[in-house]
């Protein structure tokens, strides 16, 4: 999110009462930034190939229907990994032919639905291929069908997000003994199997390693097609995985940089023989989101200054539980929404949950925060405010997309209403409190 637009949005959020003592947390999404990222992604691949490319946004990164609709209008499809994500994509108006279903644990019902709709499916393992054998034999489908492979090229700096390690749960491990030959055989036995899919990881993965994973899938496609004597594999799904710079406002690496590295490292991928699918998520939305929260109290403990805010583990789960891998930048504003100024003082920025580790930042140099001030957790547009964690039954915040008009005014659109206490009670079985007392 551009800093000047963020500052304008924070002031407007205060002026328009999106953030009040009664609603002390709000999430803001910069719509101009989202559109710019989508356009940059399309341009990045258009700059290296004339082949058809489906950019399928990874719904898991921001499972909010209006956001998916916006991306759909910007020319993106959807990559889904559950019945819920598929329902969200369809509610956003994404056509079945622009949806890709990936998951390591698809049920027979999920597969039947996808094949009935004509949604592309990437099988994860031989047992799933056997299920597809029966389904394809039982009813014709227009769904493009593929197989996910694990190139086993190694991991990045965040183990939990490295999906190309020797023991990854995803796909067929290509370097296991005999696996490659079995994959080739699987394609030769199934003329309807026409795609290869790979995704080596995301945050923490260096670009050369991502390129190596794509190269492995491309080389396998060439081997399969040579063995088949025809172009059986006609599409490569290269996943997503572009990491995000969470340290500054600099957008690096870019989709254009990655596309150029792919073109240099896997030139045959872009010569027009293969259609392409990408599955970017975090790199499209992370920079355009901000979680804004009121400072309720300030205190000192053991000579450490602490600002107690209303944003913590419920909106920044990854940062709270793994701060080394997911550090967040914090910006400080006064109660009117103006940037807080003054000498930087080391402070902890704490959340409201009842455990000691509920911290957005530790010993962070910031202008001295005061009760009523605002803190902004930056770069939270993906995997943060859309993924509420119900610790302490904390209320899920409202999400607001914003546009800055030419005259400097800010228009907000409600993406998701703030949760109410009544809704929390209803979700917790409040409609039938005596059910466990019955014989």
Using an 8 Å Cβ cutoff, are 405 and 382 in contact?
no
CA dist 195 and 394 (Å) reads 44
Q: How far is 307 from 218, CA to CA, in rounded Å?
A: 51
Q: Which tokens sit at 264? A: 């240099």
Say if residue 233's pLDDT is above 90: yes
**Which of 191-205, 247-261, 341-355 is predicted with the least confidence, judged by mean pLDDT?**
191-205
Does the structure show a pLDDT above 90 at 323?
A: yes
Q: Coil, helix or strand for 167?
A: coil
CA 364 to chain centre: 26
Residues 6+ apart with CB under 8 A from 36: none
> Are 225 and 232 a contacting pair, CB within 8 Å?
yes
Residue 331, SS3 per DSSP: strand
Q: What pTM was estimated for this model as a whole?
A: 0.96
pLDDT of residue 439: 73
Buried b (16+ CB within 10 A) or exposed e, 344-353: eeebbbbbbb
Q: Is 66 a residue whose pLDDT tops 80?
A: yes
Q: What is the pLDDT of residues 10-42, one digit of tens each?
A: 999 999 999 999 999 999 999 999 999 999 999
Check whether 149 has a pLDDT greater than 90: yes
Interatomic CA distance for residues 192 and 214, integer angstroms: 22
Minimal CA–CA distance to 380: which of 393, 399, 354? 399
**pLDDT, tens only, 387-432:** 999 999 999 999 999 999 999 999 999 999 999 999 999 999 999 9
Closest CA to 235 of 247, 224, 244, 246: 224
DSSP state of 102: E
The pLDDT value recorded for residue 161 is 63
Stretch 71-90: mean pLDDT, rounded?
Answer: 98
Q: How far apart are the first and last CA of the chain?
A: 57
CA–centroid distance for 51 within its chain: 25
DSSP category for residue 157: S
Q: What local confidence, expressed as pLDDT, does residue 169 receive?
A: 84
pLDDT band at 348 (very low <50, low <70, confident <90, very high): very high
Q: What is the DSSP annotation of 237-297? A: E---------SSS---S-HHHHHHHHHHH-GGGGSSSSEEEE---HHHHGGGEEEEEEEEE
Strands 289-301 and 304-309 turn out to be: antiparallel
CB contact burial 180-189 (16+ within 10 A = b; e otherwise): beebbebbee
What is the residue-averaged pLDDT of the chain? Answer: 95
- What number is the average pLDDT over the span 202-221? 91
pLDDT at 163: 74
Percent of the chain with pLDDT over 90: 92
For residue 191, is pLDDT > 70? yes
CA angle 388, 327, 384 (to 5 degrees): 20
Alpha-carbon distance of 369 to 364, in angstroms, equals 11
Q: For residue range 261-311, list pLDDT tens digits in order.
A: 999 999 999 999 999 999 999 999 999 999 999 999 999 999 999 999 999
What number is the average pLDDT over the span 222-245? 96
């Amino acid at each position: 999110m551009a800093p000047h637009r963020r500052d304008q949005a924070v002031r407007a959020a205060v002026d328009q009462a999106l953030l009040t003592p009664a609603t002390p947390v709000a999430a803001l999404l910069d719509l101009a930034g989202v559109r710019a990222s989508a356009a940059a992604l399309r341009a990045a691949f258009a700059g290296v190939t004339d082949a058809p490319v489906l950019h399928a946004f990874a719904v898991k990164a921001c499972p909010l229907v209006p956001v998916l609709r916006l991306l759909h209008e910007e020319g993106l499809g959807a990559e889904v990994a559950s019945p819920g994500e598929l329902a969200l994509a369809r509610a956003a108006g994404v056509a079945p032919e622009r949806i890709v279903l990936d998951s390591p644990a698809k049920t027979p019902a999920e597969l039947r639905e996808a094949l009935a709709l004509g949604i592309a499916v990437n099988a994860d393992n031989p047992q799933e291929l056997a299920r597809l054998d029966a389904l394809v034999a039982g009813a014709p489908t227009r769904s493009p069908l593929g197989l996910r492979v694990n190139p086993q090229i190694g991991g990045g700096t965040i183990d939990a997000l490295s999906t190309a390690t020797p023991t990854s749960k995803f796909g067929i491990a290509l370097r296991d003994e005999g696996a490659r030959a079995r994959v080739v055989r699987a394609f030769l036995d199934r003329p309807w199997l026409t795609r290869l899919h790979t995704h080596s990881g995301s945050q923490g993965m260096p670009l050369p390693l991502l390129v190596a994973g794509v190269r492995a899938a491309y080389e396998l496609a060439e081997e399969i097609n040579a063995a088949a004597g025809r172009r059986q594999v006609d599409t490569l799904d290269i996943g997503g995985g572009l990491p995000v710079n969470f340290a500054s406002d600099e957008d690096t690496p870019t989709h254009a940089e990655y596309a150029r590295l792919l073109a240099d490292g896997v030139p045959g991928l872009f010569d027009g023989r293969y259609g392409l699918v990408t599955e970017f998520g975090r790199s499209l939305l992370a920079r355009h989101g901000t979680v804004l929260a009121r400072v309720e109290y300030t205190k000192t403990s053991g000579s450490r200054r602490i600002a107690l805010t209303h944003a913590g583990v419920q909106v920044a789960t990854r940062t709270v539980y793994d701060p080394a891998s997911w550090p967040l930048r914090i910006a400080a504003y006064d109660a009117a929404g103006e940037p807080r100024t003054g000498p930087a003082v080391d402070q902890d920025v704490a959340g409201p949950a009842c455990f000691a580790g509920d911290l957005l930042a530790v010993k962070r140099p910031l202008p001295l925060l005061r009760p009523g001030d605002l803190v902004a957790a930056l770069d939270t547009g993906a995997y943060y405010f859309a993924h509420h964690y119900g610790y302490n039954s904390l209320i899920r915040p409202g999400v607001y997309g914003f546009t800055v008009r030419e005259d400097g005014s800010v228009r907000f659109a409600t993406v998701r209403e703030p949760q109410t206490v009544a809704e929390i009670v209803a979700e917790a079985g409040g409609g039938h409190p005596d059910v466990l007392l019955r014989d």
